[in-house]
Structure 1
């Protein structure tokens, strides 16, 4: 499979609860082609907001990209992705900048930051106290914008951290602590892709922090924890709180 179809199946595996996912897989397993009425019964049996839209997107991609595949092939792919998501849930990786040692397997911060950005399909939430340099990360963000990802960047107002993002101008939303708000320094360092993966640790978005400084971070692949983290920062940028403002 290629194109949009794998991405749509992956999104379904990530979003749907286990019982709904099982129902989708069962319906696909008996469907012979994208227009099979068995898929209509899936929506009728379990109506939910957005379900019909998801089904239309899946059918369209199936018809356009792989009409020769039976539904059983899509069901197998959906089950495989779902099982992979379950295995990865709760998994974390240690990430470092600076010298590495043989004591523990680690991955380097810059490469992981790029991987997390590339994994986003819908949203990216980024927070950093400082930012400068990082031309490659800004380029990756521009590519994310091109594929339809909505990007929020939260920066501390006491630094010139917004400058590296100037090439993206109105394509992303930049937030700073609101004047007169009760918030102190925005000191968090986070890159969260959708609600499934987050990199968080000590490294600012600077070339030295990503490569040379001794920094330690953790990459989380737990949709429950990452979702709660994203919800917290979405609350911070909610205009009703008066804590962060665009700028």
Structure 2
């Protein structure tokens, strides 16, 4: 169970609600709030079914602990009342602590999230720019479709890819304004894997943008939501892409290599 904002020595329910808000994206919290508004008490079968249906490692246990605290500390509160408390917690500033992300088998040892869902969430959070690096890419249609949506809302997208793996083919259907970058030199490879939304959120880890890496392989990563940490990472890659250094070139859409930019 993650450490939440507040004093854990007092009532547990507020602490547990804050921890849940620190863990989950807003859309998942809103889904829980919608369910809570329809239930009368912590033993309602509707809530029990919702908890059992949660696939993220440790999340069902976290929700069970919340229902236990609800039952023992605030049994007079209705589900609608708890939804209001959750909405209040959601409105407070979110934690900037790194969150663990995994692919493959997920244990209950850590409050982790799955790489596939987090990658989509990070892309979806971009409003002005999206910087993505991957050694290999194949499939990952959910991520590719979310990138396409980002372009549609005016986000500038740069994909930094390893040419030898033909990673660019996974993004062939994206609009022409998406820039695909490759190294200009022969020494070494582009082996980094990360997604950065604007300058506020980044996903770093071992997973490439492939179906197996996002879901089946045993992969590990972290989500950073601290701009003070994310900004230097983005600046480093912007430096790599800058024309005066000649380290990267833009691939002309259609397969031929474009001029150095």
TM range (shorter): 0.5 to 0.7
Of the candidates 214, 227, 232, which is equivalent to residue 210 of structure 1? 214
Alignment deviations for residues 198-235 of structure 1 (CA, whole Å, 9 cap, x no partner): 00010000000000000000000110110010000000
- 2:223 pairs with 1:192: no
Residue 233 of structure 2 corresponds to 229
The normalised TM-score by structure 1 is 0.63
Q: Decide whether the 8 Å contact of 2:148 with 2:175 is kept in 1.
A: no
* Structure 2 counterparts to residues 125-140 of structure 1, below 5 A: 125-140=131-146
Which whole-Å CA distance do the structure 2 matches of 1:148 and 1:171 have between them?
10
Which whole-Å CA distance do the structure 2 matches of 1:199 and 1:210 have between them?
12
Residue 152 of structure 1 corresponds to 158
- 2:244 pairs with 1:240: yes
Specify the SS of the correspondent of 1:153. strand
Structure 2 unmatched ranges of 5 or more = 1-88, 252-261
Which whole-Å CA distance do the structure 2 matches of 1:198 and 1:140 have between them?
16
How far apart are residue 134 of structure 1 and its match?
Answer: 1.0
How far apart are residue 131 of structure 1 and its match?
Answer: 0.2
Q: Tell me which of the two structures has the higher relative contact order, counting C-alpha pairs closer than 8 angstroms and 6 or more residues apart.
A: 1
Specify the SS of the correspondent of 1:111. helix
Residue 119 of structure 2 corresponds to 113
Of the candidates 178, 184, 193, which is equivalent to residue 172 of structure 1? 178
Which whole-Å CA distance do the structure 2 matches of 1:169 and 1:231 have between them?
25
Q: CA RMSD in A?
A: 1.8
Q: Kindly indicate which of the two structures has a greater share of residues assigned to helix.
A: 1
How far apart are residue 171 of structure 1 and its match?
Answer: 2.4
- 2:89 pairs with 1:95: no
Structure 1 unmatched ranges of 5 or more = 1-79
Q: Decide whether the 8 Å contact of 2:133 with 2:161 is kept in 1.
A: yes
Which whole-Å CA distance do the structure 1 matches of 2:241 and 2:133 have between them?
12
Which whole-Å CA distance do the structure 2 matches of 1:82 and 1:237 have between them?
37
The normalised TM-score by structure 2 is 0.60
Alignment deviations for residues 131-185 of structure 1 (CA, whole Å, 9 cap, x no partner): 00111111110100000100000001111100011001412000000145xx521
Which whole-Å CA distance do the structure 1 matches of 2:111 and 2:203 have between them?
17
Which whole-Å CA distance do the structure 2 matches of 1:170 and 1:240 have between them?
23
Which whole-Å CA distance do the structure 1 matches of 2:161 and 2:213 have between them?
16
